[in-house]
Structure 1
Amino acid sequence: MSLSLQEYQNLLYGKLTACKGQFDACLSENGYKLDFNTELNYVYQIVMSGLNVEYSFPYTPVESVITSFLKAAKIGLSLCPTEQLCFLKTEYSESSGQYVTQLGLGYKGILKLAYRSGKVKQINANVFYEKDNFQYNGVNSKVTHTTTVLSKAMRGQLAGGYCQTELIDGSFKTTVMPPEEILAIEEQGKAMGNEAWLSVHVDQMREKTLIKRHWKTLCPCIYRDSVMNDPMLFDDQDCQHSSNQQAYEEQFESAYSREAY
């Protein structure tokens, strides 16, 4: 960041306030309700939490922050860290040769978008083990999954996972993941310091991963909107708890009690 701290604060806050018209237009176009000033404060605090963190938000083009801010408005999801509907992350852009800020979806945001479409009746995610009776019947069919025991210790090693959606019209959409992919994402989460992957809730974390992967299959079936089908919203990696974002969530109550800028 070549600007001084004060200069960057002025730039960021100025750019955010200047896009109010676009923000409101995004909401009115789709009938969503979000408070501009509240969302501005979320974004401002999240971005500033990345100061002195290599490749974090303040070191990305401010235009990419604004684009992500408006993208959240277009899909009608709040960036409130405690709601965990969507989040900001940084990614290296091959085209620009620099890190940029991107919008990502949390599993709660995916579920909200899915049910808000009015086309989804039920979404289920689960993992299965070697000794379970499991059969994948194709992307447009329900899986077969039964087990005679509840103890994971008696069901063998993790053998994979699935997420399936029953649509209002009675049809199904199903996504499966092999254990290697689930465990790779699990290891990434551990490396990023997400302690939930080391807890007794590891299967719930795996199910969240399955929901995020399933969105790649489900979204095009229930939404035709080009923004909703943005490839950047299909990232199933465990990015929503990057170190600076997690730190911001932990100090959210005190941070948000201060006005932005």
Structure 2
Amino acid sequence: MGTLATTAQNNELAPMTTESDIHALVRSKRAQIEAVMSNALDPQLLYSILQTAMAREPKLLQCTPESIISCCLKCAVLGLKPSSVDGLGKAYILPYGNKNYQTGQMEATFILGYKGMLDLARRTGEIKTLNATPVFEDDGIKLFMDETGQPYIKAGEVNLNANHDPSKLQFVFLNAEFTNGGHYRTYMTRAEIDAVRARSKAGDKGPWKSDYVAMARKTVVRRAFPYLPVSTEAQSAAVSDETTPHYDFLNRNTKPVNTTTPVETIKEPTQ
């Protein structure tokens, strides 16, 4: 029997060390987990994400069980599978972050990917197009301001040999066209993007290291969220990006009030 199965009687969570411990955690806390899930959300998806993420990211075993469950629940509620599960880069659950002040263990961190940000933004159906264009030094693309102070870009001669190495990124330009005819445009320079990266827990690792341009594009989309017609779930996801989701619900003995509204019905993935 796994460590968690042994300690479950005392409503305590111990570090996970084996796959059997993962199953024991799910069994011992199933009621609390399902209590905070919408009726429209299939619990099996959460458990599938949990098992696959743990199998493909073994270092998560070094994190607190509560933080892992909460990150997986965040993915399930948003309908975004972590990249370790589907490889699409819509979201990440990574084994780093602040150490738990009680256990000293690291906590899993939830990180939205660029594609995940676009997915969330487009779900309302009020955005006609949404693009975050990375512009590199020798792309021949210039940034201008119109008479209203709105930025726009204009391409010059196309350079088919342009160097798109991440180190050559100049800025990222965002253009959002709404279905009602409105629009929103903004941009962030390389220096502004790197300042955000420097403040990030994942600044020198994870997707910032492996997918810098995608994270730069996501940073611009995230900054634009307050000005886009997106759902409250999307806004909340953007605010809680690169954090450990709140997991106090796991230690409650009574059924909590369900305040989670999924953005769409999620079906169990086909095996």
State if a TM-score over 0.5 links the two structures: yes
Distance in 1 between the 2:57 and 2:189 partners? Answer: 34
Q: Contact 1:162–1:210 (CA<8 Å) still a contact in 2?
A: no
Task: Give the aligned length.
Answer: 217
Identity rate of aligned residues, in percent? Answer: 18
Range with greater deviation from structure 2 (214-223 or 176-185): 176-185
User: Secondary structure at the residue paired with 1:170?
Assistant: coil
Alignment of 1:204-243 (within 5 A): 206=213, 208-220=214-226, 221-223=228-230, 225=232, 228-230=235-237, 231-233=239-241
Long gaps (5+) in structure 2: 1-13, 244-268
The match for 1:127 among 111, 116, 134 is 134
More helix as a share of residues = 1
Normalising by structure 2, report the TM-score: 0.61
Instruction: Using the TM superposition, give the Cα deviation of residue 138 of structure 1 relative to its aligned residue in structure 2, in angstroms.
Output: 10
Range with greater deviation from structure 2 (211-220 or 109-118): 211-220
Distance in 1 between the 2:207 and 2:112 partners? Answer: 19
What is the Cα-based RMSD across aligned positions, in Å?
4.2
Q: Contact 1:124–1:164 (CA<8 Å) still a contact in 2?
A: yes
Instruction: Using the TM superposition, give the Cα deviation of residue 219 of structure 1 relative to its aligned residue in structure 2, in angstroms.
Output: 2.6
Q: Could you say which residue in structure 2 is the equivalent of 1:161? A: 172
Deviation digits for residues 7-43 of structure 1 (CA, Å, limit 9, x no counterpart): 6334333256445633642x53xxxxx5432441221
If asked which structure has higher relative contact order (CA below 8 Å, sep 6+), I would say: 2
Q: Could you say which residue in structure 1 is the equivalent of 2:260? A: none
Distance in 1 between the 2:129 and 2:87 partners? Answer: 24
User: Secondary structure at the residue paired with 1:135?
Assistant: strand
Structure-2 change in CA distance of 1:5 and 1:139 (3 Å): farther
User: Secondary structure at the residue paired with 2:185?
Assistant: strand
Distance in 2 between the 1:4 and 1:37 partners? Answer: 22
Long gaps (5+) in structure 1: 29-33, 198-204, 236-255
Range with greater deviation from structure 2 (208-217 or 132-141): 132-141
Distance in 2 between the 1:68 and 1:2 partners? Answer: 16
Q: Contact 1:219–1:228 (CA<8 Å) still a contact in 2?
A: yes
Q: Could you say which residue in structure 2 is the equivalent of 1:246? A: none
Distance in 1 between the 2:56 and 2:223 partners? Answer: 34
The match for 2:153 among 120, 139, 144 is 144
Deviation digits for residues 75-94 of structure 1 (CA, Å, limit 9, x no counterpart): 23344423433231234227
Q: Could you say which residue in structure 2 is the equivalent of 1:243? A: none
